Chains A and B, each alone.
Chain A
Amino acid sequence: MAGKTKKIELPKSVLEMKFMKKTRERIEKELQNTQDHGRLYSDIITNEMRSASGNFISESSFIFCETMLDGRLSFKGMNPEIERLMEMEKAEAEKPSGEMVKDVSDDILAKKMAKLNKMKRPSASPVVSELSKIKRKK
């Protein structure tokens, strides 16, 4: 709701009119409030960054240090909902990341391209030589 009211902004000239005094004050107050909120949340976000200095990042939890499974597990159909989530996570982990699946390997492609280039160049150069011959004849 706050977002909606923010979007509709009255022009400055209208706000400066005498009868708009109350609205003007309200808008100023709202603006101040939102700025205060921003400061409040930025405090929380940068808490960890503040405690760190230079190259050192402090982390108070083991979950960022050790590799660990998710703590909620189900086996042999005890909770199908959880098992579905586990399977999805497993499939995602096994999926090859980054690399595309290739039909033609890089080596073969490089060889083919080299051949193609060789074939192109000899055909291109005769045309040039022929053109020069024609020019000479003229």
Chain B
Amino acid sequence: MNVSVGDVVLPGDSCQEIATIGEKSKVILGPGLRKEVNGIFITKAGTLRKRAPNTFWVDNYQKRYIPSRGENVIGIVTQKAGDIFRVDVGGSCSASLSYLSFEGATKKNRPKVVIGDVVYAKMLVASKDMEPEIVCVDSHGKKGRLGVLEDGFVFKCSLNLIRKILNPECPLLNSLKNEWPFELAAGMNGRIWIKANTMRETIALGNAILASEYHSNDEIKSMCSNIASILAGHIS
């Protein structure tokens, strides 16, 4: 069936609209779209979306993480094998993380990473046939926002929720950021790490994030003010 932008699409549907645009100008095909000889086909069930000028993708509900290059993920160190760490990122196989890909790490000065640590890392290599490789430094050798996440609490959610809360238009973080101090790391692999000063605050934050998945923007705002007033009421 031929579909257009904004439609609910199913695998196997084709999109004539994208094909005609592609004849004249460059088109970026995001996840869920595939170029075949005789047109553009959908490979995921979801909503077909477009961003100007010519970026198309399928917004779908998904919990399985498929590693792809450049994404920031949260992983758990599961094994130390010689000079690399095996890190579970939720993909089909574990990722490898070299001990040299930390800020200031040398052969003599090894980073202090132990089994069970939670790391926030960037996907460096993610191909179909090889295990992914992650790093905790940027191209300048600086750690930036990456590295080992100390303390805090990790929970899993759908990949959509990560994209929803990180969208600049989502009111969740904007309404919570002035309420109490907290820290958050959201991995594109459907894991969120949160840290706050007290257990109550941590639980409140985690619940707020999980609850916002099926709420509209207005509902999220009122929920956040609710949570904040409950927390403030109990503390004072």
Contact = CB atoms under 8 A, between A and B. Distances in A.
Contacts of A58: 29, 33-35
Interface in B144-194: 144-146, 159, 162-163, 166-168, 173, 176-178, 180-188
26 contacts: A48-B69, A55-B23, A56-B27, A57-B27, A57-B28, A57-B29, A59-B28, A59-B57, A61-B31, A62-B159, A63-B71, A64-B28, A64-B55, A66-B57, A68-B167, A69-B168, A69-B173, A72-B72, A73-B183, A73-B185, A74-B183, A74-B184, A76-B182, A78-B181, A78-B195, A82-B183
A13 to B, nearest CB: 40
Considering residues B25, B35, B168, which has the most beta carbons from chain A within 10 angstroms of its beta carbon?
B35
A64 B69 CA distance: 10
Contacts of B25: 55
A75 B181 contact: yes
A104 B142 CA distance: 41
A7 to B, nearest CB: 24
A56 B22 contact: yes
Interface in A77-91: 77-79, 82, 85
B163 A76 contact: no
Interface string B52-73: 0001010000000010111110
A68 B34 CA distance: 23
B182 A75 contact: yes
Nearest to A58: B29
A70 B30 CA distance: 19
A61 B187 contact: no
B51 interface: yes
Interface residues of B, number: 53
Count chain B CB atoms within 10 A of each CB in A69, A71, A73 and give the residue with the most: A71
Interface in A32-57: 44, 47-48, 52-57
Interface residues on A, range: 20 to 34
Contacts, number: 128
B127 interface: yes
A56 B39 CA distance: 11
Nearest to B37: A53
Nearest to B72: A71
B26 interface: yes
A101 interface: no
A85 to B, nearest CB: 6
A62 B167 contact: no
Contact of B185 (A47, A64, A68, A72): A72
A64 B57 CA distance: 10
Contacts of A52: 35
A60 B31 contact: yes
B29 A56 contact: yes
A61 B51 contact: no
Contacts of B163: 62, 66, 68
A65 interface: yes
Most buried by B among A54, A59, A82, A85: A59
Interface string B109-127: 0000000000010000111
Contacts of A76: 177-178, 180-182
B29 A62 contact: no
